[in-house]
Amino acid sequence: MSDCTEKKAPPQLLEKCVNYTASAEVKAMGYYPYFRMISSAQDTEVIIGDKKMLMLGSNSYMGLTNDPRVKKAAIEATEKYGSGCAGSRFLNGTLDIHIQLEERLARFCNKEAALVFTTGFQTNLGTISALVGPKDFVFIDKSDHASIIDGCRLGFGKVIKFAHNNPKSLEKKLETCPKGGKLIVIDGVYSMEGDIARLPEIVKLAKKYNAAVMTDDAHSIGVLGSKGNGTSDHFGLNDDVDLIMGTFSKSLASIGGFLAASNSVVEYLKHNSRALIFSASPTPANTAAALAALEIIENEPERRAKLWHNTHKMADALKDMGFNLGTSETPILPVIIGDNMDVFKFWRYLHEEGIFVNPIVSPAVPPNQALIRISVMATHTDEQLDKALAIIYKGAKELGLLNRKEK
C-alpha cells in the first residue's frame, strides 16, 4: 500500500509550472513589484496596506475613476438593469445603454458606427481575426500591444512586422507584398515609449498600396484630438483612418472596448467576430460609467489642458535632472535606466518613499533599456508632482542614476 503522504508527480504538461521559480526568487530578494494590493479607489493617491501612496502608475489619464458622476451612473445602472446581462451581445445581452454608448462613440470618433466589446483586449482580438483572412496581410509595428499580436495570431493571414514607428520600414514591407488585402495596425500612442504614431506618413503609404488603416487609441482617447477623440483627429485624418479602436479602462474610467468604423465594417463584425459573439456583454455598470466619462471628457476640455500641463511639468523636470525619456511626447513618461537590477532598486526606493510607479524590465523592453514607467493624470496637483520629483531626484542621486554632472 502506497504512502498517502507521498507527493504525486504532476502531469508532464504542468511540470513547467512546478519548475517555475522566477517570481519566488525576486520576492525573496525583496524586489517583486507586481500584483500590489490596493485597498482604495484608483485616484491620485491610493492605499497599499496601511500606507498612503502617490499614484504615478495609472492609465486613468483624465482622473475619472473616482469621479462622483461616474460612480453615480454605475450605481444607477446597476439598480435599473442588475449586475450583469447574462448573455452575449449577439443574443440576449444587448441593452439600450449599449446602443446609446455605441452611437455616442461613433459621433465622438467621427465614424458612421461603433461596436462595444467586453474588454479592450477582445476588441483587437475580435476585429483583426475577423477581418484578416487566408489571402490577406496584416502589417504591425514591432511595439504594438499584445492584443494586436494575439489578434493576428488568431487570424489566418500573413503577419508582417515593421520597425517601430518607422514608415520607411513599413514601405519596404509593403512594396514586396504580393497581391491581397492589406491591413496596417498601429498604436496611436505607444504604451511603453509614450510616442505618437507617425500617422500622416502611414496613411499616405496606405493609399499608395491600397491598404486599410487601424489605430489602437487605447492611450490616445482623452489625451489627443480636438476633444480628446484620438490620434486621427489629432492629425486631421478622421476620414483617412478606416478603423479606430479604443478602451474604457483608461480615460473612460471603466472596462471594455470599442471599434469605430463604417456601417459595413461594424455590421460585418457584429456577425463574424467570435470574440464578440461568444463573450458575455459588458455589465450595465461598466457601460454607464463609460457613457458618463465620455460626456465629461467632451464637456470639460480644461481637464485635457490640465493633463498636458502636468505632462510638460513632469517631463521638463525629469529631463532637467538628466533622465532619458526616449521619444515620449505624451503623459506616458518612460524613465530609461538601462539595467534591470538598477530599475528594481530604484522602484523599491520609490515604493518605500510612497511613490507608486511601474518598473518595466527586459524582455518586456529590449536589453539595457529597462525603465521606470511614470504616467500622470489630469487630477494630479502641482504640489503632488513637486513632492514626487523631489523624491525621484533624491533616490536617483543616492543610487547613482543621474546622468548629469552635479554643479
* Phi, psi values for residue 17, rounded to 5°: -75, -45
Low-confidence residues of the chain: pLDDT under 70: 1-5, 403-407
pTM to 2 decimal places? 0.94
Say if residues 127 and 273 touch (Cβ distance below 8 Å): yes
User: Do 68-299 and 30-59+301-398 fall under one CATH topology?
Assistant: no
**Other CB atoms within 10 Å distance of the CB of residue 2:** 6
Closest CA to 129 of 157, 106, 109: 157
Residues identified as active-site: 191, 219, 250
Q: How far is CA 376 from the centre of its chain?
A: 14
What CATH number labels 30-59+301-398?
A: 3.90.1150.10
Confidence (pLDDT) at 250: 97
Residue 57 DSSP class: B
What residue spans define the domains of the chain? 30-59+301-398, 68-299
Reading the block at residue 230, the C-alpha cell is 484620438
Of 382, 335, 315, 308, give the one whose Cα is nearest residue 54. Answer: 382
The architecture in CATH of the region 68-299 reads 3-Layer(aba) Sandwich (3.40)
Phi, psi of 35 (to 5 degrees): 55, 40
How much is the pLDDT for 362?
A: 85
| pLDDT value at residue 406 | 40
Task: Please write down the long-range contacts of 49-53, taking CB distance under 8 Å and 24 or more positions apart.
Answer: 51/354, 52/354, 53/351, 53/354, 53/355, 53/356
Q: What are 169-183's pLDDT values in tens digits?
A: 999 999 999 989 999
Q: What is the pLDDT of residue 4?
A: 60
User: If we measure between CA atoms, which residue out of 70, 46, 59, 109 comes closest to residue 250?
Assistant: 59
Alpha helices in 283-381, H assignment, sequence order: 284-299, 301-321, 340-352
Sign of CA dihedral 96, 100, 101, 106: positive
